[in-house]
Amino acid sequence: MKLANLLFLILFVNAFGQTDADNQLINYNFPKIRSSITMPVTIPLSEISNMINASVKDLVYQDDSYTDNNNDQFKVKVWKTRPIRLVGGTSQNLLIEVPLKIWAEKGIGTLGVYTYQNTTFETVMSFNTTVNFKNNWTITTTTRPNGFRWVTKPVLDYGKIQIPITSIVEKSLREQQEKFSKTIDQQMTTQLNFQQYALMAWNTFLQPFNISEEYNTWLKISPVGVNITPLKFYGNQINTTLGIDIYSETFTGSKPAASLPVSTAANFNFSPTVADKFLLQTTANIPFTEASGMARKTFLNKEFDIRDSKVKVTDIRVYGVDNRIVIEAQTDGYLKGTAIISGIPVYDEAKRKIVLSDTKFKLKTVNILQKTASVLFQGKIVKMIEEEYGIPTQELEEASRKSIEDAFNKEYYKGLKMSGKVFNLKPSKILLNSTGITAVIDTNAQLKLIVNGF
């Protein structure tokens, strides 16, 4: 439903396109992230006008009897000439204008003998509606008549005698205006009840979403609360801002169990202000097989000059131990053995890479007597690793930005259009597990929700 997709904006972006079975991450307990989505909501008053116009027939009122109302010898029909129009007031109110065309017929005479004459004229009926948005997702209105504005006044033309009937018509229209006020309130209370949508949305979020078939990854959203700013009325729209507090959880492997559905939508909280930007955290996975492939492209067959001889990298692989990434390089030549460089993975914003910090070196070689050579080799290979090795995130970041903005700028359901922009997106935390690297990505964005059609 309309609100059911406000949180369908959390995207999982996979960094690389491997499809081999050994690239699939095993089940891993990702962190449960507390986050929030904030978004301005715009409701065009034209949409509320459409709702009211749909509920009010073109023929607003009809009196076909000459003898009712104490034998007033008067008939009248009232039509809408144009759609009912709404304008935002300055005190959480709506100004409503109803343009009307009126046909009236009046009899003049005595002792049961009458001469009838009819006329057609136009007026604009005005109302003032106060809107109250309750925290149980319902809207109540109080509508009061706000008088008439005559476009052409009603006059019966009997040739030499012209009889103004404004007072007679106004009396009838005032009665109908009181009834019409109640109709407006009833229609708005019924049509502007968002409680059912909030309940549907809340329960929809409790179902995990498959966000990556390639890595069999699931995203589970748990809304925990909603904050809403007071309604602001403008000439052609009503604005408010939603702030939705959520927990997002990422799972790999089997689909996680859904949370139990709720039967009542939780009340929201009114807040004076809600930030117009939000921070969203998502994750991306890089298997060690892919990290190893990148290392081979960078370092395989690299040669180092040591004491007028050469040391060549013949193979290399990347894996994780505890909180450290390990780069294990097989060497041949002057130093034959295994060089092991490990470091804590961090995000380098300038390089836009995941790099190693706090590096450590260990060399396993049969040339144990060549201590000086191993020290020279250590300095060269560690410097090379620190300067050149890194897992690029630029492609990941740009793909993430594009995917999120694509999701922000579309109409998920008829009547609900979203428009958004990502301002900043970067990895903030690097996690390791037995088969790969997980980057937690912070996204700063802005989202606007436009309601078109109730």
Please state the three-class secondary structure of 113-143 as a single string: EEEEEEEEEEEEEEEEEEEEECCCCCEEEEE
Higher-pLDDT residue of 194 and 349 is 349
Q: Report which listed range, 282-286, 345-349, 367-371, is most confident.
A: 345-349
Supply the pLDDT for residue 351: 87
Tell me if 127 sits within 8 A of 273, measured CB to CB: no
Chain mean pLDDT for the chain: 78
Higher-pLDDT residue of 20 and 194 is 194
Question: For the chain, how many residues are written?
Answer: 454
Tell me if 106 sits within 8 A of 168, measured CB to CB: yes
Tell me if 246 sits within 8 A of 224, measured CB to CB: yes
Phi, psi angle pair for 229, to nearest 5°: -80, 155
Supply the pLDDT for residue 369: 53
Query: Which residue is it, tokens 């169990």?
Result: 257
Supply the pLDDT for residue 414: 66
What band does 199 get if pLDDT is binned at 50, 70 and 90?
confident
How large is the average pLDDT for residues 401-430? 77
Rounded distance, CA 434 to CA 26, Å? 8
Closest CA to 164 of 108, 101, 99: 108
How large is the average pLDDT for residues 219-236? 84
Supply the pLDDT for residue 264: 83
Q: pLDDT tens digit string along 50-88?
A: 877 887 778 877 888 777 777 777 788 888 899 888 898
What band does 343 get if pLDDT is binned at 50, 70 and 90?
very high
pLDDT above 60 (res 17): no
Rounded distance, CA 278 to CA 36, Å? 7
Buried b (16+ CB within 10 A) or exposed e, 148-186: beeeeebebeeeeeeeebeebbbebbeebbeebbeebee
Give me 163's structure tokens: 């009889």
Higher-pLDDT residue of 376 and 361 is 361
Supply the pLDDT for residue 61: 76
CA 195-197-201 angle, to 5 degrees, is 120
Kind plus residue range of the DSSP H or E element containing 359: strand 353-365
What band does 105 get if pLDDT is binned at 50, 70 and 90?
confident
Q: pLDDT tens digit string along 240-283?
A: 887 878 787 777 677 888 888 888 888 889 888 876 666 666 67
Query: Which residue is it, tokens 């949370």?
Result: 259
Do the bridges between strand 217-228 and strand 269-270 make them parallel or antiparallel, or are there none, so unpaired?
parallel
Q: How far, rounded to the nearest angstrom, does the alpha carbon of residue 302 sit from its chain's CA centroid?
A: 49
Tell me if 408 sits within 8 A of 445, measured CB to CB: yes
Quick one: what percent of the chain has pLDDT higher than 90?
10
Kind plus residue range of the DSSP H or E element containing 298: helix 288-299
Rounded distance, CA 64 to CA 378, Å? 104
What band does 403 get if pLDDT is binned at 50, 70 and 90?
confident
Rounded distance, CA 321 to CA 378, Å? 21
Supply the pLDDT for residue 18: 29
Q: What is the DSSP letter of 308?
A: T
How large is the average pLDDT for residues 35-63? 79
Rounded distance, CA 204 to CA 207, Å? 6
First to last CA, the chain: 11
What band does 375 get if pLDDT is binned at 50, 70 and 90?
confident
Lowest mean pLDDT among 47-56, 375-384, 413-422: 413-422
How large is the average pLDDT for residues 95-108? 86
Could you give the angle at which helices 45-55 and 166-191 cross, rounded to 10 degrees? 110
Rounded distance, CA 216 to CA 8, Å? 18
Q: What is the DSSP letter of 91?
A: S
What band does 337 get if pLDDT is binned at 50, 70 and 90?
confident
Supply the pLDDT for residue 8: 28
What band does 412 get if pLDDT is binned at 50, 70 and 90?
low
Closest CA to 141 of 113, 180, 173, 85: 180
Kind plus residue range of the DSSP H or E element containing 162: strand 161-164
Can you give the residue ranges of every domain in the chain?
A: 1-30+194-454, 46-191
Supply the pLDDT for residue 262: 84
Rounded distance, CA 341 to CA 345, Å? 12
Identify the bridge partners of residue 283 per DSSP, sorted by sequence position. 440
Q: pLDDT tens digit string along 290-322?
A: 889 888 988 899 888 887 788 899 999 999 998
Q: pLDDT tens digit string along 137-196?
A: 888 999 999 988 889 888 877 777 777 878 877 777 788 788 888 888 887 888 777 777
pLDDT above 60 (res 26): no
Rounded distance, CA 435 to CA 429, Å? 17
Kind plus residue range of the DSSP H or E element containing 284: strand 278-287
